[in-house]
Structure 1
Amino acid sequence: MPRLQSGVWKHFTPAIKDGRETFMCNYCSKTNSKNATKMQMHLDKCKEYSAFSQRSPGADGSSSASIPVPSSSFLPGATPGDGGHFLIDSVDQGSQAFADECLARAVYATGSPLTLTDNVYWRRFFSVLRPAYCPPTRHAVSLHLLDCEFERVSGRVRRAVAEADCVALVCGGWAEPRDVVDYVVSTPLPLFYKSARRTERASVGEALKEAIGEVGAQRVFAVVTEDAPEMAEAWAQVEEAFPHVSAVGCAAFGIRRLFDEIAGQPSLRALCRRAEQVVRCVRERRALADTFGHWQTTKMRSHDAAGNPVSAVLPAPAPSGSDWTSAVTMLNGLLEGQATLREMALSPTVDVDVSVRATLQDPAFWKGVAGGRNLLYLVGSRIDHVRREEQTLSAVVETLGQLRYHVGAELPGSSLHAGEQEAVLAALERCQEFCVRPIHAAAYMLDPKHVGQQTLSGEQVNGAYFVISNISHHLNLDQGKVLGSFARFSAKEGLWKGGGIWSSCRHVSPSTWWKGLCSSEPLSSVASAILQIPPTAAACEALRSRLTDAGSRCGGADGAGLSPERLEKLVAVQMNLKALEPSDHDFASPESQEEEVKISFESETQ
């Protein structure tokens, strides 16, 4: 549809005549075709519009507009054929601006296209809802309305940080070949803070210290990062400059790197190549795919041994750099169709490649597929486990402990050689060193779900005491009283003597448990702060995903053409609006309209 000249649209009402869309003048009721030039020419000649436009402005100097709108079938309360009555609707500057703000906020929060207000159907809806309201253009939604909303939401983020008793600074991008590093503050709500360009002059440590200073060193208790060659040195710089701040490695990143190292072992890579060859052979040849599907569903193999339904189609091979589930899904699909595939290899009527037939008849191949699937799933599933929103640092200690035990038990039955098994164990040690630091041990010891479980080494326990003492000093607490409170907690004495308080920890988060039930104890503020720190940089990954998605939606495809800076503002607003609960102010009408709205509502409900 051609776009009308600025301000013209509100003077016409869409209508359907003889099956085609027309526009009716709100002043003389004449209809026009949807031609912007002709509609403008009509207004220039319309005597009724000329008389209306010469009316003087309101006493307050506002440019309010009263627009007569012919009653038609799509307006509320109208009756068909009643064309002789008119509505009088008006929107003053204040109401127009407030409506624009609310509409833009809804567009940003829902990730709707910025060109939504240019769509003829949306404009028709707005004209039905409020005939005199003229929605903003896409340029207004992309420019000054976005700037205003960004400033408003940024103010709410600053207030949330100022009111938080513990803030963790989460950053992502150092481990990737990107020019931009993203920063998210966890309060514990993940709130977008800023994106900053990497510079050659500033080291990672200097950049992290600068970001901590901007957020407020008094409130920051941890920095969560991915890994990078210079990250160990950066962590040391941060902890030296701010003794109460702990540097934390993203557990999901560390476990994903462990997964990649295991999947990269030569024996497992060779096994996956053979598995891909089988999958491609069956999927890409129509006759084989049809035979596999038919035999899988008709030869009593529609369910596995556990009674679960199995697929009649083999999953696609795992693409390079894909999510960990792709490789596991491919291997699992082969195991589900194992009986059918082996029978196809034995059948003289099925044309299977010689090399694939040999693979399907090889018992060592199937043993390797089962062992590889189990090992990769064991590690990969832990990535998703630690990424859960409710997880704490204590969950990382528990997860890595389980990984050490189960991987050690699974390795002998895998297809990996002795040297490769040693390499996997070495990778597991590196993962443990990156993911579990003294503050993790402190979180594990302070988590009521793990109290009394002696799984930490003496060195880890001493590190936990050191972290607790540092945070106590930072909060101006008596360290002796804090450690005394910790002793009573560990021994389940005093406040923690009854059984009810321990059963309650299964129903609330650990930090809430400490703040809500144990607030009288000196240890409470230390424990609640430590147990609010996120174990991963998943918030930064979600931010980058949003940036990519918004870039595809707001590039040339929908005409918005946002610059990187404005795209960053859009994603910041969208992410923070989703995290922050709307306040009463978000839904309040302008002060000048409060009494009018109240009176109108009361009169309509009486």
Structure 2
Amino acid sequence: MQKAFTLVQQKFDFIIPLGCLAHTLHLLCNDILKCKSAGTFMATVVDIVKTIKNTQVLNALLEKIKSERNCNVSLKFPCKIRWGSYLQCLESLLDCKDSHQILSFHGEAKATLTKKMKTRLLDEAVFWVRVEQISNISKPIVSWITILESNDCNIHKVYKAFSEIENKLVDLLPQSSLSASEESCILVKLKSRKANSIRTIHYAATLLDPSTQGHFLTKEEQVDGMEFIHSLCVNMKADVVNVMKDLANYRSKEDLWGKKFIWISVETMNPVTWWRGLCGTTALSKVAVRILTAPVTSTATERSFSTFSWIHSKKRNRLTTSRAGKITYLSHNWKLMQKQNSSQGQQDNQRKYSKDVSLSEVPACSSSMQVVHAENRSFKRKLSSSSSNDEDETDSEACEEVTYVESDNETSENE
């Protein structure tokens, strides 16, 4: 992969090859499980989960016990190609801990559960402690996989992700049951993955993140990030002098960036929106948007492939490539629009619900007022249809009707 990146850069200097960060972090989880002690223990956990899920009697008993204890968590079976599935397996086992221990005592489970499995499920000092340890080690990695695989622009978070993972692993690994050599091996693997993933564009994106401005970067990394911005300006044929001047003012908070209103919404606003909306008049904004919108994972492409597989199926295999591509484009972007507007729809529903509640709380006199308006309309119709000789009689009758309704209105108000 790295050799392919080098060849691409040599031939096309304006292309910046980037690897999938979610896949890289998934490989880091696999590096942890490749350690002898962690891999052996995880195989034991998978064996227990597999035995329970594949045995009808045990699965039925466990579901009955969980329903009695109001536990709605189901056991998750890990998959090698699914990101974070091993953590989901460990967490599902921990959430159903009491139910599994009750299952080991159940009379109908004696013939199916082996003695070793019962001993492990009842072992509070070793088995469940190690389950929690490995879960805690994997949790920061999987949480960052979830963040980076979203459809948002997250390239400015990549450097922070590796820094947080490294700090947490340094704190958690000594507390685990892994040997010293395994701990050092995991940290070496982490540094190797980080070196292959982090590039100068990530330093530049971290510098252009207004919430941090790259304050946790080293001096060398800051210089590399600024050098990348300069080289990108040259490739974009932008005004290099004004861009570098804006970069200096941005870092020192002068000129436009010296105004307080610019920095008020930094913590709650996406950096791309911040640069486009508040700093769109500057020469640096186009370069910043170009850098901050670079993809960090291939998950969006994988999602589009999944959508395409539903559209161009065995039953619809006569679709042309262009027609299938257009339908995929519409379907995929329709899902994104629905997800984006879901929060706005919830707010609208809340407003509609509050409006309905307010209408239902109106006093009963409003219904009588509607009757008054209806009688007035009937009164006008009678006037138009009646002769001039009968106007006085019709008028008196209508007035009597209106007076009668108004008296009802007063009665309801008194009530």
Give the TM-score taking structure 2 as reference length.
0.71
In the TM superposition, residue 347 of structure 1 has moved relative to its aligned partner by: 6.5
Partner of 1:274: 44
Are residue 253 (structure 1) and residue 23 (structure 2) matched? Answer: yes
Are residue 353 (structure 1) and residue 114 (structure 2) matched? Answer: yes
Which runs of 5 or more residues in structure 1 are unaligned? 1-227, 303-309, 582-606
In the TM superposition, residue 534 of structure 1 has moved relative to its aligned partner by: 1.6
In the TM superposition, residue 322 of structure 1 has moved relative to its aligned partner by: 4.1
Superimposed CA distance per residue, residues 360-392 of structure 1 (whole angstroms, 9 cap, x where no aligned partner): 233211111111122223212211211111123
Distance 1:392 1:297, change over 3 A: closer
Tell me how far apart the structure 2 counterparts of residues 501 and 578 of structure 1 sit (CA, whole Å).
Answer: 37
SS of the residue aligned with 2:310?
helix
Distance 1:274 1:570, change over 3 A: farther
Map 1:104-143; keep pairs closer than 5 Å. Answer: none
Are residue 481 (structure 1) and residue 234 (structure 2) matched? Answer: no
Tell me how far apart the structure 2 counterparts of residues 466 and 275 of structure 1 sit (CA, whole Å).
Answer: 49
Partner of 1:529: 290
Distance 1:237 1:274, change over 3 A: closer
Superimposed CA distance per residue, residues 28-81 of structure 1 (whole angstroms, 9 cap, x where no aligned partner): xxxxxxxxxxxxxxxxxxxxxxxxxxxxxxxxxxxxxxxxxxxxxxxxxxxxxx
Match of 2:144 among 369, 382, 390: 382
Q: Kindly indicate whether the alpha-carbon contact (under 8 Å) linking 2:153 and 2:294 is maintained by their aligned counterparts in 1.
A: no
In the TM superposition, residue 470 of structure 1 has moved relative to its aligned partner by: 0.7
Partner of 1:424: 186
In the TM superposition, residue 446 of structure 1 has moved relative to its aligned partner by: 0.7
Are residue 574 (structure 1) and residue 344 (structure 2) matched? Answer: no
| Bigger helix share | 2
Q: Kindly indicate whether the alpha-carbon contact (under 8 Å) linking 1:248 and 1:535 is maintained by their aligned counterparts in 2.
A: yes
Q: Kindly indicate whether the alpha-carbon contact (under 8 Å) linking 1:263 and 1:376 is maintained by their aligned counterparts in 2.
A: no
Partner of 1:511: 272
Map 1:342-491; keep pairs closer than 5 Å. Answer: 342-345=101-104, 351=110, 352-362=113-123, 363-451=125-213, 453-491=214-252
Partner of 1:15: none
Tell me how far apart the structure 1 counterparts of residues 50 and 253 of structure 2 sit (CA, whole Å).
Answer: 60
Superimposed CA distance per residue, residues 206-228 of structure 1 (whole angstroms, 9 cap, x where no aligned partner): xxxxxxxxxxxxxxxxxxxxxx3
Distance 1:341 1:509, change over 3 A: closer
SS of the residue aligned with 2:283?
coil
Partner of 1:561: 317
Superimposed CA distance per residue, residues 119-172 of structure 1 (whole angstroms, 9 cap, x where no aligned partner): xxxxxxxxxxxxxxxxxxxxxxxxxxxxxxxxxxxxxxxxxxxxxxxxxxxxxx
Tell me how far apart the structure 2 counterparts of residues 284 and 538 of structure 1 sit (CA, whole Å).
Answer: 31
Partner of 2:99: 340
Which runs of 5 or more residues in structure 2 are unaligned? 335-415
Map 1:274-353; keep pairs closer than 5 Å. Answer: 274-298=44-68, 301-302=69-70, 310-311=71-72, 314-319=74-79, 321-345=80-104, 351=110, 352-353=113-114
Tell me how far apart the structure 2 counterparts of residues 576 and 495 of structure 1 sit (CA, whole Å).
Answer: 39
Tell me how far apart the structure 2 counterparts of residues 580 and 349 of structure 1 sit (CA, whole Å).
Answer: 52
Tell me how far apart the structure 2 counterparts of residues 548 and 580 of structure 1 sit (CA, whole Å).
Answer: 16
Distance 1:336 1:239, change over 3 A: same
Number of matched pairs:
331
Partner of 2:263: 502
Superimposed CA distance per residue, residues 539-596 of structure 1 (whole angstroms, 9 cap, x where no aligned partner): 3212332343345x2x2xx2x4348xx3x43442123334679xxxxxxxxxxxxxxx
Map 1:11-50; keep pairs closer than 5 Å. Answer: none
Partner of 2:33: 263
Distance 1:580 1:464, change over 3 A: same
Residue type matched to 1:519 in 2?
Answer: G
Partner of 1:133: none
In the TM superposition, residue 440 of structure 1 has moved relative to its aligned partner by: 0.7
Tell me how far apart the structure 2 counterparts of residues 516 and 281 of structure 1 sit (CA, whole Å).
Answer: 56
Q: Kindly indicate whether the alpha-carbon contact (under 8 Å) linking 2:153 and 2:292 is maintained by their aligned counterparts in 1.
A: no
Distance 1:269 1:311, change over 3 A: farther
Q: Kindly indicate whether the alpha-carbon contact (under 8 Å) linking 1:372 and 1:415 is maintained by their aligned counterparts in 2.
A: no
Residue type matched to 1:577 in 2?
Answer: L
Distance 1:280 1:242, change over 3 A: closer
Calculate the aligned-residue CA RMSD, in Å: 2.7
Tell me how far apart the structure 2 counterparts of residues 433 and 464 of structure 1 sit (CA, whole Å).
Answer: 15
Residue type matched to 1:523 in 2?
Answer: L
Q: Kindly indicate whether the alpha-carbon contact (under 8 Å) linking 1:244 and 1:467 is maintained by their aligned counterparts in 2.
A: no
Tell me how far apart the structure 2 counterparts of residues 548 and 280 of structure 1 sit (CA, whole Å).
Answer: 30
Superimposed CA distance per residue, residues 262-286 of structure 1 (whole angstroms, 9 cap, x where no aligned partner): 2332222211221123223333444
Superimposed CA distance per residue, residues 380-435 of structure 1 (whole angstroms, 9 cap, x where no aligned partner): 22112111111231111121121111122222233432222222112211221222
Map 1:127-206; keep pairs closer than 5 Å. Answer: none
Tell me how far apart the structure 2 counterparts of residues 296 and 469 of structure 1 sit (CA, whole Å).
Answer: 60
Superimposed CA distance per residue, residues 2-46 of structure 1 (whole angstroms, 9 cap, x where no aligned partner): xxxxxxxxxxxxxxxxxxxxxxxxxxxxxxxxxxxxxxxxxxxxx
In the TM superposition, residue 506 of structure 1 has moved relative to its aligned partner by: 4.4
